Structure 1
């Protein structure tokens, strides 16, 4: 064996070793990075792990998925902008944040829109959602992979008991910054205080804010029972989220990988959502054990207080379409 062939062999071995050290992503033709604010203990994150495993198996390693919990790639809004620029990044995101690009998406985050996962799933697997997704693709260069990632109903976490909207007067409450969220919190009687989820615990601890509204798995995962005393079950938002990536990156995938990614995203969304349903009672029991008071209340006053949000934001007709879908 000559000198050159030995050198070539050594180089090849070195590359193979480096590849094995870096893992399967280096061998894949395509890699998708998925960012989420949630922790690894969240039931929805288990759905992302399911997606990762199934896509890599079904694509025979051609498409790899890397997961970044705890917003490791940045805030949702920043990751969406990276995706719009063509990066192979995806984010688990609510309709309120997508309304910046396509206003119709905001209706999905509206107050008391649907009941539980089965209710909202009808909406997000309908032709109405397909129309929204096409507008997002063509107008904002963002691709919806599936929109059936349910994180539970959102409730109030406060340091004083809440029974009616008047009890929220003067309370600074963290909520995401999109108009549908801030207008709803305002209509409920609180002062909206948008901030990144990662900042909520310390903001409550230092009394920069007085309260937060959140779904049970996220509240438990971030240990908010340590810095709030009451969880009031208003269920004002039915938090449905979607897996959204770059349209340019997605369009450049071979057609078979596009199909695999969309089909597996829908299946794993169901896995994540049913996992959330199954976990909620246990999560609430654990928060109660940790000293939190959990109050079931009559939500009628909150429904009445927030009913005008759809009209305020220009969603009256769209809300009628959604109601018609849910009535079928």
Structure 2
């Protein structure tokens, strides 16, 4: 797919209301693009939203995003069109999130930790060993706790259409050797994205975090820039990391939620029926992509084994205990955040 230009937007000096219950302020655009789109709605012109994400186009989630776009486009009957751009062709997640926060007509599918600049508290939903099983993702997302986080993020400039209720997969570790024991983690150059939560998690495991963009991980593993990385099996396989690293350790450290995001200003500028369509289809997407990812995980494991990948079971209790320190590393989180998340899940 050819790269398509992203329009540049000038950020104004208007600030979103400052820190409130774990949500930081972000600069926003001057609203000119949103106003222009509102005028287009009144004149009957079609609005185009670019859904730019970093997920490999061959993955089940990427295909489900295409389905989401098709369903929205069909229901909007020519008034709104979503165009999908996979494989980071419009920039990495951080770059796309920044554009969305400035009012660009874009979407992305991201984990809650990536929204750290808009609502730091959201990262708790991506914390290590928080959930007992996949069903708890939806439970937390639509609890009062999850609804509150979604509202605070929307107030800071980014609306999460499905409240982070989608299942991205259970994150495992692929490396050039087994890391089933914490001692085997020592000295490992472990690739992480630029999210403080995952950086602190990898440190807690005893490895050395190395920040590498997802699109560069294959080469980084191949050239020894990093020895390990973590992601759900479906994404590991779609990105072909098993070609350059032959050991998967089932650390199961994060049962990972993700959500579809859009600029709050853009979302509010749409007619109410279009807002409803986006919300309904995003929640529906979260449900069917969860089913598809769950079904895909076992099949992917078998495929990887047939390609010579060795699987190892981690000492998960030891990893879980080691990762408890992560919850003490974020003074920007609101007081009692971890305990409130556990209470919402009934883990008291």
Partner of 1:143 in structure 2? 159
Aligned partner (choices 229, 246, 253) of residue 236 of structure 1: 253
2:117 corresponds in structure 1 to 100
Return the offset for 1:57: 1.9
Residues 84-135 of structure 1 show CA distances to partners (whole Å, capped at 9, x for unaligned) of 2211101111111112221101111110110332111111122222222222
State whether residues 28 and 64 of structure 1, in contact with CA within 8 Å, keep that contact through their aligned partners in structure 2: no
User: Does the 8 Å contact 1:145/1:261 carry over to 2?
Assistant: yes
Is 1:294 matched with 2:311? Answer: yes
Name the CA shift for 1:35/1:236 in 2 (closer, same or farther; >3 Å): same
Aligned twin of 2:346: 327
Q: Which moved more, 1:87-96 or 1:123-132?
A: 123-132
2: CA distance, partners of 1:117 / 1:65: 29
> What is the Cα deviation at residue 28 of structure 1?
6.3
Cα drift, residue 238 of structure 1: 1.5
Q: In the alignment, what sits opposite 2:88?
A: 71
Aligned partner of 2:134 in structure 1 is: 117
The match for 2:9 is none
Measured in 2, the distance between the counterparts of 1:49 and 1:28 equals: 23
2:205 to 173, 188, 193: 188
Q: Is the 8 A contact 2:118 2:158 kept in 1?
A: no
Aligned length: 301
* Alignment check: 8 A CA contact 1:116 1:153 kept: no
Instruction: Give distance in 1, aligned partners of 2:117 and 2:57.
Output: 28
Q: Does 1:255 align with 2:272?
A: yes
**Contact 1:32 1:65 (8 Å CA) reproduced:** yes
The aligned counterpart of 1:29 is 46
- Tell me what 1:3 maps to: none
Structure 2 distance, partners of 1:268, 1:209, is: 34
Offset at residue 308 of structure 1 (A): 1.7
Structure 2 residue aligned with 1:211, among 208, 228, 247?
228
Q: Unaligned regions of 5+ residues in structure 1, if any?
A: 1-26
Q: Which 4+ stretches in 1 moved above 6 angstroms?
A: none
Q: Which runs of 5+ in 2 are unaligned?
A: 1-43
Q: Mean alpha-carbon deviation: is it higher for 67-76 or for 48-57?
A: 48-57
Which position in structure 2 is the counterpart of 1:46?
Answer: 63
**Offset of 1:69 from its aligned partner?**
0.6
In the alignment, the residues of structure 1 paired with residue 91 and residue 286 of structure 2 have an alpha-carbon distance, to the nearest angstrom, of 22
Distance 2:105 2:153 in 1: 17
More helix by share: 1
TM-score (norm 1): 0.88
Larger Rg: 1
**TM-score between both structures, scaled by the size of structure 2:** 0.83
